[in-house]
Each structure stands twice: as C-alpha cells, then as structure tokens.
C-alpha cells in the first residue's frame, strides 16, 4: 500500500468520476440501539447530500500512511468460513443489497466499537474499472481488472452548540434550534485493500482520525485482524520506554534524551528528489543499542531499554522516522546553540584572565602596561584537533605535526592554503 494507490482512489471521489453504486447507513444512539437504518442508490442522491457523503468518504482515505491509515492483514483463521474476512467478502458480493447481511454488519460494529455517544455507520459500495498504465503513467484505454470494494465510515453524531439565531416564523432573535450533526469520521476502513493498483483480499486499509488512541478493539474484534501501532503511538511509547529508564526530571536526563532524538534523526535518509519517497529505515534492537551507546547512555541503562523495546514492539519494528519528534529536534538545536554561546563566553573570559596575568613593564611615559610575549608560531585549531598535535623530529629538526583529513582545510596567517 502506498500513497499513489490511495490518491488514485481518492481522486475519483468527485461528481464526474464517482462510481459508488450504493450507500447504506445505521444511526446508533448512546445506548447502542439502532435508531434508524437506510439504503440508497448513491447516484440518485440530491446534490447537497451527494457532496456531503463524498466528503465523508474522502476522509477515510486522508492522512499519513502508517499513522492515520494502517494496512492490517487477516490471520488465516479469519479467511475460513465464519471468519471476518469471509463475512466482508459476502457483504461485498451482495453489493449492500442484502438487508440481513447489513443488519449483521451493523451488529458487528456495535458489539465491537467502543464509543461513548451517538454515531452513524456508513457503508459505500464501489466497482472501479482500473485502467492499464504505461511506464510513464499514461492511461491506456483498456482495463486491467475491476476493483470492487467497500468503504466504511463511523462518524460521531453530536448535538449542535446552543446559541441565538433569527426565528423567521416569529420574526425575532431567539434560541437556535439544536440539531444532531454528523461529524467527520472517527474510524473507518476499506476492504479489500488496494495494493499496487490491484485487489488484495488478504488485507484491509484501516483509518483512524485520532492517532494517539485508535480503536484497537475494533481492529481486533471487529475486523478480526491484529492491532497495530500508529506512528504516533510508536513515538510516544518509545519516549516513555527511554524516559522511564534515564529519568526526565533533571537537565542531564533531558540532554541525554534530546541527543538520542538527534542520533535517530541521523538515520533517516535524505533524497535530493522531493517527489521520491525515501526507503524507511527499520530501527532494530541492534540499531537502537548503537544509538543509545552513541548518545552516552550507560550499558546497564541501554540493556534495560533494549529489553523493554523488544518486549513492546516485538516483530513490529518501528522505522526511524516514526520515533523522531521534529519539535524535540528544534529544542535540541537551540540547546546546542545556547551551550556553544556559553562556551564562547567562557573562552573569552579565560583569554581575559590570561591577559591580566601577563607581567607588566614600564612604558616610555612611565605607565605600567602588560608585557607582550612574542611567539614564532601561533596555532589556532578546533578543540577536537588539540589532542592530535604532537612533536616529531624530521630531517634533524623538531616539528609540530597536525594530522589532516582529506576534507579538512587550513589557513596560514589568514590565507587559505592546501597541505
């Protein structure tokens, strides 16, 4: 499942390209009772309803893959008679025209969808004639296959806010009538999945608006698939694992955590082509151990973090991008800039103290001035180079040797030079 596949479906959700054949729905109250059900031929809807329902359908294909949209796979047992996948296959084949199957589906959702309040279950049926594409993405006038699928959207229904309005029948300003309003989808799915422009009956595309707390209970009991972490859940869970071990109440712990974020960010590949999607980098147990070591985490702490990491994520290994918080990277950049400024001030203070400590001598006008000590050679190098400088006898002369890498440059008396 990739972004292009999602966009290909979503682009068709407009008046002149939409091919939805049927729409069915069930309004459920807070006590989990079916208030009303309905079924309509989609293209027969009035324009106002038509566009509103299209907006809802589009939302189920919105957001980021791996965060708002998860690809869930059916276990083998669910593809056997009586399994969830087999039930959805039958619902698709009925084209939503079987009242008995629709009632069974509504019951399935109501029993396995945990929500406090009223909500609306909507199910769309579509048959998309997938056209063959050439290598340069031009469509040919011939069909590869017909992708027949169901799109389900579960939308909260809430009472509109109280307010004042013009009451036309009474010709006065008065309290506005409060209505039950259908909101944007909270949860949804598309079955079968649309993968590499083809039908994948072994998978379902699951949608969640809230990436922090998706309805895992519906993934498992409703669809019969194993639950899956969203990218947001992976990030927050990883942060919790690390902070639980290294702490988070002091400056040292915070700096250590921010350095871990920086080193994880270095794993994310950067592509010059903005249109190309970089290959995600999985953060295995070995990778996380290396990152922790590079960040200065002790071996004992790294061992605990590694074990918890493996216990929580198991085979569902996160990719580096999902564990990095861009806001924390900005915080760390500012922290490093602040530390650098502090270091510069300390260096200036030290130079000032050294100047004050120089011996004094009397000038021609009788005033005491610091004695200036002259040197034949003065070096200024980066702090990390100091430890590499050593003396060596070359051709009978004592020389200072400064190792240089191929990508390093030098300046002599302010003039760039090659060595």
Q: Burial level of 325, CB count in 10 A (0-12/13-18/19+)?
A: middle
Same domain, 238 and 371: no
Same domain, 312 and 371: no
Question: What are 19-53's pLDDT values in tens digits?
Answer: 999 999 999 999 999 999 999 999 899 999 999 99
Q: Is residue 296 part of a domain?
A: yes
Give yes or no for residue 104 having a pLDDT over 90: yes
CA 123 to chain centre: 28
For residues 119 and 309, give the distance between their C-alpha atoms in angstroms, rounded to a whole number. 37
Q: Is residue 333 part of a domain?
A: no
Smallest CA-to-CA distance from 263 within 248, 279, 242, 278 is with: 242
Same domain, 130 and 256: no
Same domain, 404 and 256: no
Same domain, 139 and 68: yes
Same domain, 24 and 168: yes
- Provide the pLDDT confidence category of residue 220 given band limits of 50, 70 and 90: very high
Give yes or no for residue 59 having a pLDDT over 70: yes
Q: What beta strand segments (E) does 109-240 contain?
A: 118-133, 139-159, 164-167, 172-175, 180-182, 187-191, 193-195, 198-200, 203-208
Same domain, 239 and 372: no
Average of per-residue pLDDT across 194-206: 93
Question: What are 337-395's pLDDT values in tens digits?
Answer: 888 888 888 888 888 877 766 666 555 565 555 555 555 677 777 777 777 888 888 88
Cβ burial 135-169 (10 Å sphere, 16+ → b, else e): eeeeeeeeeeeebebbbbbbbbbeeeeeeeeeeee
Q: Is residue 332 part of a domain?
A: no
Same domain, 299 and 356: no
- Provide the pLDDT confidence category of residue 418 given band limits of 50, 70 and 90: low
Average of per-residue pLDDT across 402-411: 79
Question: What are 275-307's pLDDT values in tens digits?
Answer: 667 788 999 999 999 999 999 999 999 999 999
Q: Is residue 178 part of a domain?
A: yes
pLDDT, residue 157, reads: 94
Q: Which of 80-94, 172-186, 389-403 has the highest mean pLDDT?
A: 80-94
Q: Is residue 89 part of a domain?
A: yes
For residues 221 and 207, give the distance between their C-alpha atoms in angstroms, rounded to a whole number. 16
Structure tokens at 122: 């909507």
For the entire predicted model, the pTM comes to 0.77
For residues 128 and 150, give the distance between their C-alpha atoms in angstroms, rounded to a whole number. 11
Tell me how many domains the chain contains. 3
Give yes or no for residue 271 having a pLDDT over 90: no
Q: Is residue 241 part of a domain?
A: yes
For residues 211 and 2, give the distance between their C-alpha atoms in angstroms, rounded to a whole number. 19
- Provide the pLDDT confidence category of residue 132 given band limits of 50, 70 and 90: confident
Domain housing 366: 344-417
Same domain, 40 and 88: yes
Q: Is residue 329 part of a domain?
A: no
Domain finish residue from 228, 253, 284: 228
pLDDT, residue 351, reads: 80
Q: Is residue 311 part of a domain?
A: yes
Structure tokens at 247: 């702490």
Domain finish residue from 194, 228, 262: 228
Same domain, 206 and 273: no
Same domain, 201 and 162: yes
Domain finish residue from 228, 252, 277: 228
Same domain, 310 and 348: no
CB 335 within 8 A of CB 258: yes
């Amino acid at each position: 499942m990739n972004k292009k596949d999602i966009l290909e479906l979503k682009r068709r959700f407009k008046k002149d390209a939409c091919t939805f054949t049927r729409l069915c729905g069930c309004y459920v109250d807070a006590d989990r009772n079916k208030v009303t059900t309905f079924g309509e031929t989609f293209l027969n809807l009035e324009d106002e309803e038509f566009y509103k329902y299209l907006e809802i359908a589009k939302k189920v294909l919105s957001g980021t893959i791996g965060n708002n949209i998860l690809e869930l796979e059916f276990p083998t047992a669910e593809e056997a008679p009586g399994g969830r996948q087999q039930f959805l296959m039958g619902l698709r084949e009925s084209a939503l025209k079987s009242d008995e199957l629709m009632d069974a589906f509504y019951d399935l959702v109501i029993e396995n969808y945990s929500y406090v309040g009223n909500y609306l279950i909507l199910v769309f049926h579509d048959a998309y004639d997938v056209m063959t594409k050439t290598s340069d993405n031009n469509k040919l006038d011939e069909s590869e296959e017909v992708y027949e699928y169901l799109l389900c959207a579960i939308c909260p229904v809430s009472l509109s806010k109280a307010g004042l309005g013009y009451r036309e029948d009474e010709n006065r300003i008065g309290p506005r009538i409060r209505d039950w309003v259908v909101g944007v989808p909270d949860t949804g799915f598309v079955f079968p999945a649309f993968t590499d422009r083809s039908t994948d009956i072994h998978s379902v595309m699951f949608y969640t608006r809230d990436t922090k707390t998706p309805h895992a209970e519906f993934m498992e009991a409703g669809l019969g698939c194993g639950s899956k972490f969203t990218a947001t859940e992976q990030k927050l869970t990883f942060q919790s694992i690390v902070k639980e071990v290294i702490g988070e109440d002091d400056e040292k712990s915070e700096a250590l955590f921010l350095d871990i974020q920086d080193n994880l960010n270095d794993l994310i590949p950067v592509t010059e082509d903005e249109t190309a999607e970089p290959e995600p980098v999985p953060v295995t147990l070995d990778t996380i151990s290396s990152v922790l070591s590079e960040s200065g985490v002790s071996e004992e702490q790294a061992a605990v973090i590694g074990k918890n990491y493996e216990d929580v994520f198991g085979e569902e290994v996160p990719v580096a991008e999902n564990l990095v918080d861009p806001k924390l990277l900005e915080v760390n950049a500012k922290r490093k800039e602040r530390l650098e400024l502090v270091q510069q001030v300390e260096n200036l203070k030290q130079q000032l103290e050294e100047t004050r400590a120089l011996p004094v001598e009397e000038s021609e006008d009788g005033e005491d001035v610091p004695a200036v000590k002259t040197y034949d050679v003065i070096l200024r190098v980066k702090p990390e180079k100091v430890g590499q400088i050593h003396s060596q006898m070359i051709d009978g002369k004592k020389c200072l040797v400064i190792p240089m890498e191929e990508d390093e440059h030098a300046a002599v008396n302010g003039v760039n030079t090659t060595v």
